[in-house]
Chain A
Amino acid sequence: MNFELTDEQRLIAESVQRFVQDNYDLETRRKLADRDPGFSREHWATMAELGWLALPFDEADGGFGGNQIDVMVVMEQFGRGLVLEPYLASIVLGGGALKRGASAALREEILPGVIDGSRQLTLAYAEPQARFDLHHVTTAARADGDRFVINGHKSMVPNAATADHIVVAARTSGGQIDTGGITLFLLDAGAEGIRRNNFPTVDGRRASEVDFENVEVPAERVVGEVDEGFSILNAVANDAILALSAEAVGVMEMLYKSTVQYTQERVQFDHPLSDFQVLQHRMVDMFMEYEQCKSLLYRATMEAARGDDETAQRTIHALKHLVGKSGIFIGENAVQLHGGMGMTEELAIGHYFKRILVIDSEFGNADFHLEKFAA
Chain B
Amino acid sequence: MDIELAPEDLEFHEEVRAFFQENAYKPGEDYAQWRLDWFRKAREKGGWDVPKWPVEFGGPGWTPAQHYIWEQETARATLPWDMPFGAGMVAPIIMAYGNQEQQERFLPDIRARTVNWCQGYSEPGAGSDLASLKTKAVLSEDGKHYVVSGQKIWTTAAHIADWMFCLTRTDDTGRKQEGITFLLIPMKQDGIEVKPIITLGGAHSVNTVYLSDVNVPVENRVGEEGKGWTYAKGLLQHERTGLAGLSRSLVALEGLKENARSVQRGNGTLMDEPAFRAKVAELEIDLMAAEYTELRSLASAQAGAAPGPESSILKLKGTEIQQRIQKLTMEAGGIFSAAWGARPVGPKFAKGGMAGYLASRAYTIYGGASEVQKDVIAKNVLGIKRSAR
Contact = CB atoms under 8 A, between A and B. Distances in A.
Contacts of A234: none
A370 B278 contact: yes
A255 B302 CA distance: 30
Chain B contact-residue range equals 35 or more
A173 interface: no
Contact of A287 (B299, B309, B386): B309
B296 interface: yes
A283 B374 CA distance: 9
23 contacts: A1-B9, A1-B64, A1-B299, A5-B1, A272-B389, A275-B387, A275-B389, A280-B382, A283-B382, A283-B384, A287-B377, A291-B309, A292-B286, A292-B293, A292-B313, A295-B292, A295-B310, A298-B296, A299-B288, A299-B291, A306-B3, A321-B282, A374-B278
A280 B378 contact: yes
B289 A271 contact: no
B317 interface: yes
Interface string A268-309: 001110110100110111011001111110110011011000
B278 to A, nearest CB: 6
B313 A288 contact: yes
A292 B286 CA distance: 8
Interface string B167-190: 000000000000000000000000
Contacts of B291: 295, 299
Interface string B267-305: 000000000011011101110111111011001100100
Interface in A323-375: 370-371, 373-374
A3 B295 contact: yes
B387 A299 contact: no
Contact of A322 (B278, B285, B382): B285
Contacts of B386: 275
A293 B4 CA distance: 21
Interface string B43-68: 00000000000000000000011001
Interface string B1-33: 111111001000000000000000000000000
A285 B370 CA distance: 11
A183 interface: no
Interface of B: 1-6, 9, 64-65, 68, 277-278, 280-282, 284-286, 288-293, 295-296, 299-300, 303, 309-310, 313, 316-317, 371, 374-375, 377-378, 381-387, 389
B1 A374 contact: no
B378 A302 contact: no
Contacts of A281: 371, 374-375, 378
A296 B309 contact: no
Tell me what chain A mostly uses at the interface: helix, strand, loop, or mixed. Answer: helix
A56 to B, nearest CB: 15
Nearest to A73: B1
Given A1-B295, A305-B2, 12 more contacts: A1-B65, A3-B296, A4-B299, A274-B384, A280-B375, A283-B382, A291-B313, A292-B290, A302-B1, A302-B3, A306-B3, A318-B284
A75 to B, nearest CB: 14
B295 A284 contact: no
A2 interface: yes
Contacts of A292: 286, 289-290, 293, 313, 317
A69 interface: yes
Contacts of B296: 3, 295, 298
B1 A284 contact: no
Nearest to A318: B285
A303 B310 contact: no
Contacts of B293: 291-292, 295
Given A298-B296, A374-B280, A315 B378 contact: no
Contact of A284 (B282, B374, B385): B374
Given A1-B65, A291-B313, A315 B288 contact: yes
Contacts of A5: 1
B285 A321 contact: yes
Contacts of B316: 288
A267 to B, nearest CB: 8
Interface in A1-53: 1-6, 9
Contacts of A2: 1-2, 299
Nearest to A325: B282
A302 B383 CA distance: 31
A6 B281 CA distance: 34
A197 interface: no
A318 B285 CA distance: 6
Contacts of A69: 1
Contact of A280 (B9, B309, B384): B384
A260 B383 contact: yes
Residue of A263, A275, A284, A370 with most partner-chain B CB within 10 A: A284
Nearest to A293: B289
B385 to A, nearest CB: 8
Contacts of B299: 1-4
A295 B285 CA distance: 11
B289 A296 contact: yes
A260 to B, nearest CB: 5
Contacts of A305: 2
B64 A370 contact: no
Given A271-B387, A280-B384, A1 B285 contact: no
Contacts of A272: 387, 389
Given A291-B310, A306-B2, A284 B288 contact: no
Nearest to B5: A1
B374 to A, nearest CB: 4
A201 interface: no
Contacts of A306: 2-4
A322 to B, nearest CB: 6
Contact of A370 (B282, B295, B317): B282
A118 interface: no
Residue of A69, A288, A302, A306 with most partner-chain B CB within 10 A: A288
Contacts of A264: 384-385
Per CB-CB distance, the 9 closest pairs between chain A and chain B, nearest first, are A295-B292, A374-B281, A280-B378, A296-B289, A292-B289, A295-B293, A318-B285, A284-B374, A299-B292
B50 to A, nearest CB: 23
Contacts of B64: 1
